[in-house]
């Protein structure tokens, strides 16, 4: 006989495929495309060397031309500015004098921001060159010199313009204080590793939670620790040994990779432990479509829309990318906040893995008691099979309660 509910089930699946899935896909595309399409400097910390008139004009020009783009911090000399860059207080600095502009940048902090500072330095130099030329022209006009004949005037104007350009041009010099690895000049390998790390962490957490051989919580926790450490070692061997993208602080870099993987995998395992298979989809959506999309690994957190940068840095993908950058290139400077975020997610995830069975123990006990009562097991007529099965079920229930 045909099941009358089969038609309703078919329509429900059609509705999921035609409505729910397109909505999820649209939101996923928007989560990645919207921050990438709105990349722009927003309160990027930048240093200004000196407090002379040239530096003041530079700050006024940048504030007027790019309002809200930079957060300026003053430093007495270039040495102080270099120390601030290495300490991750600023992304770079401008040292402005009468006839030159020195751009101090750190490609290792963010290739995108470093290129932005170089372009801004060139714009400042061009603006200063025009101002100097205009001031020189105004002084010549104030001298009251009379124009010569037309032909002579054109020749003199060309020569004067060439002389003015050569004498009044403001030169730009870019200095990379903390350069990126030579084998990865654009930082592509570094930024491209965030997404695979997130996916691998989720896969490790899902496997450890769903593996039937790992019955005890402590076995799951131990497996998570070992799997993340070994996987991080493999990632490091590829990124540094094969591609040369992580050239400094080898042991610390491997440790940070392990912690990054552990924070993601422990969170995924804990959510799956508490919510079942639905937790895998929830953890994947949180880490991939929110954490990875808002991480700012390809640019910088200060280049993302307001609010998105904070969300990304409070999730393991964003905090892990920033921590890995700080550890590899900046000797761990300014990594306390990112380290605390990863440790917090790791502790919460491992706690759910260890003690999640306490939360879901009652539903299991109800199912076990129903089975133990013999209501679901039919008795064989004319035999003692029902009694023996019922006794076996009660014994199995007692063993199950003892193991829990």
What pTM value is reported for the model? 0.76
What residue ranges do the domains of the chain occupy? Answer: 28-134+166-179, 188-359, 369-378+385-403
pLDDT at 350: 95
pLDDT at 6: 52
**What integer is the mean pLDDT of 97-123?**
91
Is residue 254 over pLDDT 90?
yes
Q: Which two tokens stand for residue 170?
A: 């403001």
pLDDT at 244: 85
> Which of 98-102, 146-150, 251-255 shows the lowest per-residue confidence on average (mean pLDDT)?
146-150
> Is there a contact between 275 and 214 (Cβ–Cβ < 8 Å)?
no
pLDDT at 167: 56
DSSP one-letter string for 326-379: HHHHSTTTT-HHHHHHHHHHHHHHHHHHHHHHHHTHHHHHHHHHHHHTTTTSPP
* More confident site: 31 or 159: 31
Tell me which H or E stretch contains 212. none
**Residue 205 CB neighbours (<10 A):** 33
- How high does pLDDT run on average in the chain? 80
């Amino acid at each position: 006989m045909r099941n009358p509910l089969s038609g309703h089930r078919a329509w429900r699946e059609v509705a999921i495929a035609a409505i729910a899935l397109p909505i999820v896909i649209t939101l996923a595309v928007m989560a990645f495309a919207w921050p990438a399409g709105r990349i722009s400097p927003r309160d990027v910390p930048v240093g200004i060397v000196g407090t002379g008139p040239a530096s003041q004009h530079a700050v006024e020009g940048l504030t007027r031309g790019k309002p809200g783009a930079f957060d300026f911090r003053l430093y007495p000399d270039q040495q102080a500015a270099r120390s601030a860059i290495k300490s991750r207080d600023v992304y770079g600095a401008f040292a402005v004098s009468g006839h030159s502009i020195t751009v101090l940048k750190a490609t290792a902090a963010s290739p995108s921001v470093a290129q932005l500072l170089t372009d801004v330095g060139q714009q400042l130099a061009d603006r200063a060159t025009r101002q100097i030329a205009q001031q020189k022209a105004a002084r010549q006009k104030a001298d009251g010199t009379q124009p010569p004949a037309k032909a002579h005037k054109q020749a003199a104007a060309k020569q004067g313009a060439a002389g003015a350009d050569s004498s009044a041009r403001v030169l730009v010099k870019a200095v990379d204080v903390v350069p990126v690895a030579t084998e990865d000049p654009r930082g592509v390998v570094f930024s491209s590793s965030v997404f695979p790390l997130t996916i691998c962490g989720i896969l490790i957490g899902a496997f450890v939670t769903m593996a039937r051989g790992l019955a005890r919580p402590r076995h799951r926790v131990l497996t998570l620790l070992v799997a993340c450490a070994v996987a991080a070692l493999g990632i490091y061997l590829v990124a540094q040994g094969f591609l040369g993208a992580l050239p400094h602080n080898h042991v610390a870099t491997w440790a940070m990779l392990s912690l990054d993987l552990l924070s993601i995998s422990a969170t995924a395992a804990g959510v799956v432990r508490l919510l079942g298979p639905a937790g895998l989809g929830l953890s994947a959506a949180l880490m991939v479509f929110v954490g990875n999309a808002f991480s700012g690994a390809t640019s910088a957190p200060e280049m993302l829309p307001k609010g998105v940068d904070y969300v990304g840095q409070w999730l393991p993908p964003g905090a892990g990318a920033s921590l890995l950058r700080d550890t590899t290139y900046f000797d761990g400077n300014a990594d306390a906040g990112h380290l605390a975020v990863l440790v917090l997610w790791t502790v919460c995830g491992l706690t759910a893995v260890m003690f999640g069975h306490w939360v879901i123990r009652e539903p299991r006990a109800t199912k076990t008691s129903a089975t133990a009562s013999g209501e679901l097991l039919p008795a064989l007529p004319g035999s003692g099979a029902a009694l023996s099965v019922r006794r076996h079920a009660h014994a199995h229930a007692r063993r199950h309660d003892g193991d829990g």
